[in-house]
Chain A
Amino acid sequence: MKREMNLSVNGTQRSTLTQPERPLLDVLREDFHLTGTKFGCGEGECGACTVLVDGEATRSCITSIGEVEGRAIETIEGLEIDGALHRIQQAFIDQQAVQCGYCVPGHIMTALALVRNKPNCPRAEIVATMSEHICRCCNYSRILAAVEQVVG
């Protein structure tokens, strides 16, 4: 059954009339047209759909909108403020961590959680955390360089 669901997205209160079982990913993309968050696998394996929920990196393809009702969602669209990139975004540009780029928003959101929560995280932990993502262009060494520009 549909019902009115409220949540904060990038600091703005949003609401949508929908089924609580619906994936957060679909709501972001289809209801709010925030298409920066990508579909990759639908089973939480690839990380393309990663957003922050109350600051925690979360796979939006396996998270229902009902689970995050009333909580604060951050997506890739929320990082740039008044034309200024977040330094983790800039790092992905500086280190050429973009080939097709489709996986990059998800990578950046997980990296953002590291930047905020574990800014001095050692390399081994960065590698373990970022290994939860897939880049099929296999641009991994550049992605690691980008994260290490800001973390560790």
Chain B
Amino acid sequence: MDESFDELELEIERYELREPTRFRFETDRRRFMQATGTGLMLAVAIKPRRVEAQRGTARRDEYLNERFFLAQDGTITVFTSKVEVGQGSRTQLTQAAAEELRLNVDQISLVMADTQLCPNDGGTAGSRTTPSTVPRIRAAAATLRETLINHVAKQTLSQPEQIQYAGGIFRSQDGQEMTLGQLASDQSLVDALKRTSLAEGSTVIPVADWQVLGTPVPKLTSRAVVTGAMQYPSDTVLPGMWYGKVVRPVSYGASLTSIDLDAARDMTDVVVVRDGDFIGCVAATSYEAALARDAIAASAAWNRPNHPASVDLFTHLRRNITSPGTPRKQGDFLYAWTGATKRFDASYKISYIQHAPMEPRAAVAQWNGDLVTVWTGTQQPDRVRSELIGAFQLPAESVRVIVPDTGGGFGGKHTGECAVEAARLAKAAGRPVSLRWTREEEFTWAYFRPAGVIDIRAALDSSGNLIGWEFTNYNSGGSAIESPYRIPTTVTRTAQCEYPLRQGSYRALASTANVFARESAMDELAAMAQSDPLEFRLKHLDEGRLKDVLRAAARNFDWSGAVSSRLPNRGVGIACGTEKGSFVAACAEVEVTQGEPRVLRICQAYECGAIQNPANLRLQVEGALVQGLGGALYEAVEFSKGQITTDNFSTYRVPRLRDVPELEIVLLNRTDLPSVGGSETPIIAVAPAIANAIAHASGVRSRSLPLKLA
């Protein structure tokens, strides 16, 4: 089908954590290790049968009754394992089903991310919902539409092409009418859905005929949000539910030498659990659970190993390379470097930052005998289910994970530690338990976007052409590491290091670092070549989508006008990049007074193929841009002696309303191209555009994220 997209092109693994989570429950550990060796292997071993069939747009073993439920009120329920974390998947997938079923969005309801009810469409990561899940839902819905028409044709003794269908009503040529609601109670149809697989394929509605997709459908849950009725994972309330708190180590790697579990003995109605490394408390209120936890924690003595401090971070990474990586080479870089007219050699430092979603990790767990159900906020319901299976040594069918629409993710909620902890507490308490991490726990015990060091060497010939490019990333990863510019000789390499903080996925992950370094270097190279930064980029790009967004951003920003009419202390910068199949360019104007930069305006152009929901895409592009402004100017996780010292919003500075510059967003709608996800890539151009603007304004070039002028 036309929207299909080769999933094999993308390495899903690189968005995953490099290390598995480990729960060492004493009671279960021996059996656990015998069974599997490690948690990671277990996660692979017990993946449900459908996972291997994830690639491709329609799973061969999927039957319509697994994907859809027809209700007698004429609505259709669609099931998917995807989660809604604010990026708009619920609305977009509803649009996809409504489009193919020729219904309004209010005639579709979506059940998302319930491992017991939903077919496994994989986790929600890597901007895969748009290029993978939307086509899958559309293909399934188109098959359903065709199946329904065929069924009505049979019932009315007509041919399928004689059936007119619109808005849930089927009409035969002789005037017989049937509604979706009537069909819902037709047992022969229900049986037919069980037999109809998606293997045969179906015809989806072409982009030119879209009526629901491509339109700015507002977020479907807005009313629930503004009334407070929306039930996020941390809002889950069950009868008889208590609240949990967990004793955390005083620092990374700390091990207990002694603890008095009876320290909370004066408190009534508190359940204290110790299981291996895990110690937690459960009480009727989270306040009482915290009192008990604090009393026990105060009695603890810890053995604290050394841990690197953030002031030594970049030295630490350089000195602790565990794998130098394999260089990817094109042409003879050293020859170009040796013969160059001008040479550029620079290093860039990328701090750890955190997602800090507004809703911290949260889970409610309920046991029923050996069956456990956990409501939790995660982007990976199936992975969390695997973690629960592993931690409690349960058969796969005994664990159910449900993900209510969640308060933010940004790549930060791929793991299930809170779900496992809540389940352990609930098991001990013999009642449902709600566990919501504190902000300090989230900032310390979740994971971070990797820090990194990037080295660049580049060579220019006498005409100002880039003739050599060497790019090495230490620790922060390989996304978007290949330069999109036309350079005859290149060497790129991703080295792995021993890293001090638990690190994993983030919005656009390593491309935030790699594009920052590359686009900063391009600016310096343009200056060396005595070329305008825009012209220098255009000169080294072939015609195509990246060049298109670069031109669109420059045009709407009035780049040449802004350069020629620059005011004192002001500067402009430009940057562009591509990742996950979409293209972005940003122009920024800043003012620097007494060493303090202020971003005045940003114009960003973005293109991700055919736009499926322009309203939501605009929100995502703008949100990513402003979030990226935080990584550019403020955000850095600091730590010493094994403790995070920026462990709340008073010490970890994130963008606020007053920081938002004048924004212009330009969306290029390429209805001739497949749609790809638009929630990540729009974050990657803003930091280098600002860095370049600051250098232009002040003459000071910062090569670190966040940018430092002093």
A residues neighboring B (CB under 8 Å): 18-19, 21-23, 26, 29-31, 33-43, 45-46, 48, 75-77, 79-80, 85, 89-90, 92-93, 96, 98-105, 108, 127-128, 130-144
Contacts and interface: CB of A to CB of B under 8 A. Distances in A.
Contacts of A29: 235
B319 interface: no
Contacts of A37: 228
Residue picked from A48, A131, A136, most chain B C-beta under 10 Å: A136
Contact of A101 (B407, B440, B654): B407
A105 B228 contact: yes
Contacts of B408: 100, 102, 136-137
B658 A131 contact: yes
Interface in B427-461: 436, 438-440
Q: Which of A31, A76, A138 has the most CB of B within 10 A?
A: A138
A77 B285 contact: no
B685 to A, nearest CB: 15
Contacts of B228: 34-37, 75-77, 105
Say what secondary structure dominates the interface of chain A: loop
B656 A131 contact: yes
A37 B222 CA distance: 16
B225 A104 contact: yes
Interface string B596-637: 000000000000000000010001101111110110000000
A99 B648 contact: no
Interface in B220-275: 221-223, 225-232, 234-235, 237, 243
Nearest to B665: A141
B649 A19 contact: no
B657 A93 contact: no
Contacts of B625: 138
A131 B649 contact: no
Contact of B285 (A22, A108, A127, A130): A22
A101 B225 contact: yes
B660 interface: yes
Nearest to A109: B228
A39 B234 contact: yes
Contact of B658 (A43, A96, A127): A127
Contacts of B405: 100-101
Q: Which 10 A-B pairs have the closest CB atoms?
A: A36-B228, A100-B86, A102-B407, A101-B225, A76-B228, A138-B626, A35-B235, A45-B649, A131-B658, A89-B226
A133 B657 contact: yes
Interface string B636-657: 0000000000001110001111
Contact of B287 (A26, A135, A143): A26
A41 B623 CA distance: 21
A36 B229 contact: yes
Nearest to B234: A39
Contacts of A76: 226-228
Nearest to A93: B222
Contacts of B20: none
B79 interface: no
B360 A98 contact: no
Nearest to B355: A136
Interface of B: 85-88, 218-219, 221-223, 225-232, 234-235, 237, 243, 285-288, 355-360, 405-408, 410, 436, 438-440, 615, 619-620, 622-627, 629-630, 648-650, 654-660, 663
A139 B622 CA distance: 7
Q: Which one of A30, A41, A137 has the greatest number of beta carbons of chain B within 10 Å?
A: A137
Contacts of B438: 42
Contacts of A135: 358
A55 B608 CA distance: 46
Contacts of B406: 100
Residue picked from B228, B355, B615, most chain A C-beta under 10 Å: B228
A105 to B, nearest CB: 5
Nearest to A92: B226
A99 B623 contact: yes
Contacts of B88: 99
A151 to B, nearest CB: 14
Given A18-B285, A41-B439, A143-B657, 17 more contacts: A35-B235, A45-B650, A77-B229, A92-B225, A96-B218, A96-B619, A98-B226, A100-B407, A101-B225, A102-B357, A105-B226, A131-B656, A136-B357, A138-B625, A140-B656, A140-B660, A144-B660
A108 to B, nearest CB: 6
A75 B235 CA distance: 15
Given A26-B287, A136-B358, A102 B622 contact: no
A139 B285 contact: no
B626 A103 contact: no
B358 A103 contact: yes
Contacts of A131: 656-659
A136 B648 contact: no
Contacts of A45: 648-650
B657 A136 contact: no
Nearest to A46: B649
Given A139-B623, A143-B657, A93 B226 contact: yes
B222 A92 contact: yes
A135 to B, nearest CB: 7
